[in-house]
Structure formats: structure tokens, C-alpha cells
A and B are shown apart, each in its own frame.
Chain A
Amino acid sequence: MAVLETRELKRHYGKILAVDGVNITTNDGEMVAVLGPSGSGKSTLMRMVAGLEEPTSGDILLDGRSVVGIHPKHRNVAMVFQSFALYPHMSVRDNIRFPLVSRKVPEDEQRRKLEWVTGILEIEDLLDRRPTRLSGGQSQKVALARALVRDPELFVFDEPLSSLDAQIRSQARGELRALHDRTQITTLYVTHDQLEALGLADRIAVINQGALQQVGTPRELYNDPANLFVAGFVGDPPMNLLNLGEAMLGARPEDFVPEDESSGDAAISVDVEIEQIEFLGAEWLAYGLVRAGIPEVDSHPPRVILRFRQIEEPRFVAGETRRFVVPKSRARYFDARSGERVMPPEVAVA
């Protein structure tokens, strides 16, 4: 267990700035997801923490001690790669023992550790197999066992679920969270998949173009995005963004309420021409064009996606135009130029 802290961490590749002054501090035993699109610098950040790359400037601290310049061998950071990177010519047993053998751990301790870790991950019956004979889920467990066996201070996960089949991914997510709750090892979890980040992490650090956008709990990120990037990146479908001139109004798809069902103060009320309706089991999605209620709808009617959680069919069909309102408590405003979150404007827009 440990506290990871990065201070003004920067990494250049030639002229390209891959990581641009990132400050993250974890709590002890916390699982922090680093969420960002591909090319955002999250992998570089992770590789610097693991010791595979050195920062251009800034510092990385584990429990207050700087680990910059310390060889990965001597940093007690374990990593699980996206591909799991199992050694194909070794049995599962030798794969798991490899970090112990490399660190010249005595034989009897190796055996105890192996028993302990295979018990936790329930892979006792796989020990004599070759990695090529394992399923995706089994490979993931072996990779986790190999990372866990050396008692690391810090775990670094590189999209460990994205190479699994979609059917077992949610199960694997649950198991990963259970493993973390049991071991209480501080974990940095790098992913581009917001479902993984929202579902797994205690807190999420959103990163884009090398810079940290927001750090917060999944609920904070969803309900109160700090800027337009977070608003557009977190949530599926993303937050609807409507240009009001000086400011942008953001509203989640589920925050649009048909006018006749609404009560209380409305931040905005818009006429939406429904183009298409999708049934997704527990919810409906409606795709539409805003026809009235905000400025400049005539030239570029903005597209919106609305979400309705209900069993019965919506009371409207494609082609119809309906009036929806967004309650004041649910509307979020962003500065149109900087993209940063701002307070609601004084005057309500007609």
C-alpha cells in the first residue's frame, strides 16, 4: 500500500509534448482510473510511473520518496499489460514465479506466495498449462497473479479488460474490483473505456492532449464536468451541448423532460423534431434536431440525443416535433470560448 503522487510531470518526444504537467495524488489503497482517448498521453503517464520511461521534468513520488531514475526492478510497482504479456514458453506456474525468481526470493517463500496468490485468484488447476492454452479470462487472472505475487506497493493496469470478450468483461470487472477490495493495493488503472472507469474506480483522472482535465469521483465527473471535454467524453451517449451564444448549455440525455410532465423551474425549453427512436431494453434513445428555443437554430439546428428510462413506449413517434424542458437543477453551463465550467447566467434564455 502506498500513496502515489505526480508533480508537474512532463514528457517530451522531440517537439511533441506527450504529458504536460500532470499532478495526481492518490489516497492510500485507492483505485484511480486514468481516462482519456487514444493519444492523450495516458499510456506515457503510466509507463513513467512503472519506470519504463523517464520523465523530461517533474517528479513521481511513492509514499513521499521520489522514484524518478530508479530502475523498474527496484521500484515496487507491478504492471499488467493490455496483452497480459505472459511468457509463452513457460508454464503458468513459472510465469507467476518469474518475479520471485528474478528477485532471488527463497524457495519456500516462493511456494507460500504461489499458493496464496493462486488461492485468491482460483487458478490452482491452471498451474501446469501453457499460456497458449488459456482463455482470455484465464490469461487475465494469471497476469494478475504474476503482478500480485511480489507484494507490490502499487499496481498499474493498462486496459486489462479491453482484450477480453464483451460477454465476460463485466464479470471480470467485478472480479477486479473484488480483488482490489481484498488486497487494498493502490492502483492506477489506465483506460479509454469510460464504462470501465466509471464502474471500477474510486476516482477518475480525465486526461486529454497530455493535460489533466478533471479529477473526481465517477458521480462528480458525470454530474459536474469541469469543462466541455469532460462533458463530451464522459457519459454514453455524451452530454448534449447547446450553444446559447456567450455560454454553452450542457444537459445529459436523461435530463430532457417532456413539457407536460415537467414541474418547477426550467433552464431551457426547446422544440425537438424526433428523427429516430431506438429501443435498448431498459431504456429508449431518441435522436432529434432542435427546431426552436435557442438562438440560431435556423442555420444549424443542433442534434440532441434524449434518453427515457421506461418500460412502455414513448408517447411520440419519429417525425413528430415536441417540446422538452431541462430543469434548472440539471443544466450545466460552459464558457463558449474557453470551454470551462461557469455559473448559470443571470437572465434565462427565452
Chain B
Amino acid sequence: MSTNPATGPRSQGVLARIAEACDRPRVLGALMLGPAIIYVVAFVAVPFVLAIGLSLSDATVGNPNITNLVGLDNFTQVVHQEAFMLALRNSLLITTLVIVCLLVLATAATELLARDFRGKRLVQILFIMPWAMPVSLAAITWLWLLDSQFSPIDWILVQMHLLGPGGVWGPGRHLYYLGREWLGIGSLVFVDVWRMLPLATIIVLAGRLSIPRERLEQATIDGAGFFRILFRIIIPALAPVLIIAVLFTALLVIGEMSMVSLLTRGGPGHSTQVLPYWAYLKGIESGDLAQGAAIALFLFPVLLVAALIALRMAYRTQDG
């Protein structure tokens, strides 16, 4: 009996014909790649091109047609508003502070979790909790912790005589975390770090565990102490992973608006405003789609260049 499909009995039925088509590399390749391409086009490329179009037009929620192009007018208008400089400053400041805190804390947490100790499993589970918690639930918790009247943190500070009459931090009994510019920004950084630390730690931990144990033991035998091993052996080996971790968390933090919208709503005034939330306020809440798109696109070239540089650095450090 011949097994050659050209001379063999012609296959019957739809399924058989589909199976035969799938044997051809061109058909199979297109089928396999299809979903990914559709996904990228529908959810990345189209919105992105649409955003560029919107930012160059005078579209509003009431009249969302990209018909009347106005050039770069939206960008110049946005730049001249007071809120823009605040939002830009806060976006960059918050992202930078979050990344610095994350780098230090994730490296420290990794050193802890890479060791064996009693109850390690429990610590690991507790550690991942912030990442597993829904954003809204986390925000409710933090809104209570940072509440202007009922904050338990304030209460503890009063009990420690740091706050309240005779306290170091003034006679008032409340700090109003979310009602003051710098405390508000500090609170946002703190909550962002709390949320991002599990992800950053897992990325760094994966890199840390891939360092051969013999290399660390060799360093111990060579007479290096904890800090020399950390800074001369572990961190250089982690460099590619750390760069990737910084890139990912930076992109996540700089595009993140849920915490701002839930905690401070950018206030008081625009003092804790960030670009993504302001873009949302302008484009959706106020209905000025064009200006909203312009704000959202503002950081794109900066982020693109930063991402390319980071990826190049990661590749280069990996080469050794």
C-alpha cells in the first residue's frame, strides 16, 4: 500500500482536508501566527494610530471624527497649562522614586528569600499578597490607613507622642496624608512600591537563583564577606535582570493611574497629578479627546528611547 498522498486514495471529508492543509508549512504558520497578529493589531496598533490621529485633530466625545486636523495645536496648548508641568514632574518623580525604592527593597528581599529558614513558605505567600490583591480592594485599605480623620497611622503616632499637642510633628492630631502635596506624593510612592515589590522581587529572585552556587561558595572561600559578595558578585551577575526589572516596573508605574484616581484624584489642585490620569480627566471626563490623546502620547518618544537603551544594555551585560 502506498503512503504517498499524491498517489494514495484521495482523502474524503472536511476534517481530512483541513488536516491535509495544516501539513503545509505556509498554512500552518499563518494559522499559528494569526491570533497573535490579530491581537497586536486590534489592541495595540489600532488604538495607537487612533491616538496619534486624535491628538492631531480637534475631536471631542460629542464629535469623535478625525476630520479636522489642527497639527500640533493640542500639544502646544497642553504644554502651556499649569497642570502639565505638575503632572510631568510628578510622573517622572514618582516613577524614579518607586524604582529606586524597588531596586533596594527587591534586592534585600531576594537575599532573604534565597536563603533557607523556618517559615520560608509562609513569608513567600505573604510576600506575593499585594500583587494578588485587587487594586480597588487595596485602595480601600489604603484609603482607610491614610484617612484624614480615622487614619490608624495618625492614631499610633499620637500614642507615641510624635503627633498631637506637644508632639514633635505639631499640635494637630492628623497629618492629612492625601490632602497635602508632598505627603500625597509620598503616599502614592509608598503604595506603588507596596504593590510592585512582589513582581520586582520575583524577577530579581529568578535571576538570583540562576547564579551558580559554586560561584558564591568560591567567593566565601576567597574570603569575601556579605557586602563584598553582594556588590562584587551578586549584583554584577544580576545586572541584566535588574535592567529588565527596572524597565518593566518603570513602564508599569509611569502608565499607572488607578492608584492616583482612587487615592488623591490628582489633588489638592493638580499637586499630585500624573500624566495618564490627567489624560483620562481631559479626554474622557471633560470630553476633549484630542487633548487627552496629546497628553497620553507625550511620554511615548521618551519611553521608547528609554526602553531601547535598557534592552541594549541588558543584552550587552549578558555578553560579559
Contact = CB atoms under 8 A, between A and B. Distances in A.
B218 A85 contact: yes
Contacts of A87: 215, 218-219, 232-233
Contacts of A131: 320
A346 to B, nearest CB: 55
Contacts of A73: 220-221, 223-225
Q: Which interface residue of A85, A99, A146, A150 has the most chain B CB atoms within 10 A?
A: A85
A77 B223 contact: no
Contacts of B219: 87, 98, 102
B214 A98 contact: no
A102 B225 CA distance: 8
Nearest to B229: A102
A344 interface: no
B261 to A, nearest CB: 43
A305 B152 CA distance: 83
B223 A99 contact: yes
Say whether chain B's binding surface is mostly helix, strand, loop, or mixed.
helix
Contact of B222 (A52, A83, A88, A146): A146
B237 interface: yes
Interface string A45-57: 0000011100000
B236 interface: yes
A85 B212 contact: yes
Given A85-B215, A89-B237, A132 B221 contact: no
Contacts of B214: 81-83, 85
A323 interface: no
B17 interface: no
Interface residues of A, number: 24
Interface residues of B, number: 20
A89 B232 CA distance: 9
Given A98-B222, A98-B224, A99-B222, A83 B212 contact: yes
Contacts of A83: 212, 214
B121 interface: no
B312 interface: no
Interface string A61-96: 000000000001100011101110101110000000
A214 B71 CA distance: 89
A130 B320 contact: yes
A103 interface: yes
Given A73-B221, A89-B239, 15 more contacts: A50-B221, A52-B221, A72-B223, A78-B221, A79-B217, A81-B218, A85-B212, A85-B217, A85-B218, A89-B236, A98-B219, A98-B232, A102-B223, A130-B320, A150-B222
18 contacts: A52-B220, A52-B221, A72-B221, A79-B221, A83-B214, A85-B212, A85-B214, A87-B219, A87-B232, A87-B233, A88-B320, A89-B236, A98-B219, A99-B223, A102-B219, A102-B225, A131-B320, A132-B320
